[in-house]
Structure 1
Amino acid sequence: MVEIDKGLFCDLAKFYGEAFHLPPLAAKIYSYLVFDFERNGVSFDEFVEIFAASKSSISSNLNLLLNLNIITDFTKIDERKRFFVMNEKYMKIRFEEIIEKMELELLILNKLKTFRNTSDETALQKFDIYSNLFNKNITNIKDTLDQL
């Protein structure tokens, strides 16, 4: 079993539940995996024991996390069990999705500016500030992802 800090575990479960829109058990499973620093993996049976939940609940929540690419699974050569770990590529996937949404919003905003066709300096200045904010954040996130 993985050693955890219960207070930090609760904070993580609440945060991931809200940030990733996860049901409580899925957020707890993911939070538990955060403490698997050695990436040894946690088996299905361990999750059933740790969370005292039904096999079907554990199974459906693991499948949800797998489908969202938040976790991955593997089998060890000498065992038939599946082990689950955090997807180390998930943060990159998550931030790439954020970039896509910001780029799409910026594109729509530009179309709106063209449609409005105003000469109001205040409105144009606000648009430029908003647009610069998007561009700086997109560039910053892309540069950071390149470093990963």
Structure 2
Amino acid sequence: MSKEETKNKLIEEFGVHFESEYDLPPLAARIFANLVITEEEGLTFEDCINKRGASKSSISTSLNLLLQMDFVKYFTKSGDRKRYFKVAEKNTFFIKKLNRSLKKLERESEMLRKITAYNEQYRPEKHEENKTKITVYGSCIANMTKDLKTTIAELKRQQQQD
């Protein structure tokens, strides 16, 4: 398989992943994947049109969505009126992704706490029946939360050093 074929396959795989992971529309996911994979300093609007083969309005809508979500940013080059799009700062992107995961875990932990308290008070037999499973699951959530917080702190430290 040629480099270009491998690259296109990887862009498609990443696109599918970004669609499901971030609830992105297919075109926005593919543009983002292109920006992750590109060896260029950034892609212009025209580059995105050429690489994706979509209409100007579709590309524009997708790029605006990615900008609003802080997945990408743009820059200009001196003497060039074009905007160049690239993935937002890597550490910032990863920190935001991990923070989203952390918030999900914190909501899950809170719901687990409420369900446990309800069952303990109003359905003691159900509480006893599920006590071991809930303890193991709660421990898993706590460990994942701790790991995410540690990783986020480390990424922030690295970001400050850069």
TM over 0.5: yes
| Secondary structure of the corresponding residue to residue 70 of structure 2 | coil
**Correspondence for 1:146:** 153
Task: Quote how far apart the aligned CAs of 1:37 are.
Answer: 4.7
Once the two structures are superposed, the pairs formed by residues 11-90 of structure 1 within 5 Å of their partners are: 11-37=13-39, 40-87=41-88, 88=90, 89-90=92-93
**Correspondence for 1:134:** 141
Instruction: Indicate the structure with greater helix content.
Output: 2
**Correspondence for 1:10:** 12
TM-score normalised to structure 2 length: 0.80
User: Per-residue CA shift, 1:56-76, capped at 9, x if unaligned?
Assistant: 110001011111221111222
Root-mean-square deviation over aligned CA pairs: 1.9
Calculate percent identity across the aligned residue pairs: 30
Task: Quote how far apart the aligned CAs of 1:133 are.
Answer: 0.7
- 1:92 maps to 2:95: yes
Task: Give the stretch that moved more between structures: 25-34 or 110-119.
Answer: 110-119
Gaps of 5+ in 1: none
Task: Give the stretch that moved more between structures: 51-60 or 17-26.
Answer: 17-26
Q: Structure 2: how far apart are the matches of 1:123 and 1:70? A: 41
Query: Is contact 1:99-1:141 (8 Å) kept?
Result: yes
Q: How many residues align?
A: 145
**Correspondence for 2:131:** 124
User: Per-residue CA shift, 1:51-99, capped at 9, x if unaligned?
Assistant: 2221111000101111122111122233221111112222210110110
The one-letter code of the counterpart of 2:86 is V
Q: Structure 2: how far apart are the matches of 1:147 and 1:37? A: 27
The one-letter code of the counterpart of 1:93 is K
| Secondary structure of the corresponding residue to residue 85 of structure 1 | strand
**Correspondence for 2:104:** 101
The one-letter code of the counterpart of 1:105 is E
Gaps of 5+ in 2: 156-162
